[in-house]
Amino acid sequence: MTVGPSSPERSRPSIFWPLAAIVLPVVGVLTRIEVRGAEKLPRTGAFVLSPNHHSEIDPVLVAVATWRMGRVPRFLAKESLFRVPVLGWILRRAGMVPVARSRGAAAQALAQGRELVANERGVIVYPEGTLTRDPDLWPMRGKSGAVRLAIAGDIPLIPVAHWGAQAVMPRYGRFSVLPLRKPITVAVGDPVDLSDLRGHPNDQAAITAGTGRLMDAITALLEDLRGEKAPPERWDPSRSGQPETGKL
């Protein structure tokens, strides 16, 4: 079931079809996903979709929502994973986007942006880079990857917020099956306005400004879903003596 017309790519046979045949029924039993603002995701062309991240399971739920909105869900993936037998083949066939730490961020973003535009593909990029460290699961400080990619490729940057994944799998918690059909809400926002920052993929001030706008947009969407206001200051792990990755 889709909530919008499928893109030409989504309609063509691909490795995503058997994956969807397996994943969609399972997710459909475990959750009930409501998508708001599906019309804001472009039907064709490249895009960068940027969601909040508060559960290990939410990439699967965001992927399902993206598929239901008529687009193919692709993620950034560490380049080393592409060298793993079988897994690497699947990632390449699925068109996942490799990230190499050895390459400069600006040059890598420019190459990735050009490839996305040339193939009219989208990519899902978590701007927080890891599960939020905020005690109440609000979006924390963002990183530059999503904005850098959007600016370098002149690609629409679409903010997304979702809520309910923590009932399926709490942050660093155990997977919960019951009750079935847990409600998940996914809200898609208007593209973040980066028009004044275009042409400045190497300008750190521009990247920082764009990242702030993106995190503000995601937070506003989440405030609406939760029916409450986020803290006035965004959580910064470094100020709290927390590691950037791994369990708290």
47-51 vs 157-163, strand pairing mode: parallel
3-class state of residue 15 by DSSP: coil
Q: For residue 153, which amino acid is it?
A: G
Question: Got the DSSP string for 150-208?
Answer: HHHHT--EEEEEEE-HHHHS-TT-----PSSSEEEEEEE-PPP--GGGTT-TT-HHHHH
pLDDT value of residue 119: 81
At 133 the pLDDT is 93
Predicted local confidence at residue 245, as pLDDT: 66
pLDDT tens sequence across 48-101: 999 999 999 999 999 999 999 999 999 887 777 788 888 888 888 888 887 776
Give residue 246's pLDDT: 65
Average model confidence (pLDDT) for the chain?
Answer: 88
Extended strands (E) in 47-191: 47-51, 76-78, 97-99, 122-124, 157-163, 182-188
The CATH architecture of the domain made up of 32-75+105-169+181-236 is 3-Layer(aba) Sandwich (3.40)
Domain limits of the chain?
32-75+105-169+181-236
Q: What is the pLDDT of residue 87?
A: 82
199: left (phi over 0), alpha (psi -120 to 50) or beta: left
| DSSP collapsed to 3 states, 203-245 | CHHHHHHHHHHHHHHHHHHHHHHHCCCCCCCCECHHHHCCCCC
242 CB contacts (<8 Å, ≥6 apart)?
A: 133, 248
φ/ψ bin of 120: left (φ > 0), alpha (ψ from -120 to 50), beta (otherwise)? left
In which residue ranges of the chain is pLDDT below 50?
Answer: none
Contact of 41 with 47, CB cutoff 8 Å: yes
Q: Using an 8 Å Cβ cutoff, are 122 and 74 in contact?
A: yes
Give the integer Cα–Cα distance in Å for 6 and 68: 8
Which DSSP symbol is given to 40?
G
Q: What is the residue whose two structure tokens read 């066939």?
A: 93
Looking at residue 101, its pLDDT comes to 63
Do 106 and 202 touch, CB atoms closer than 8 A?
yes
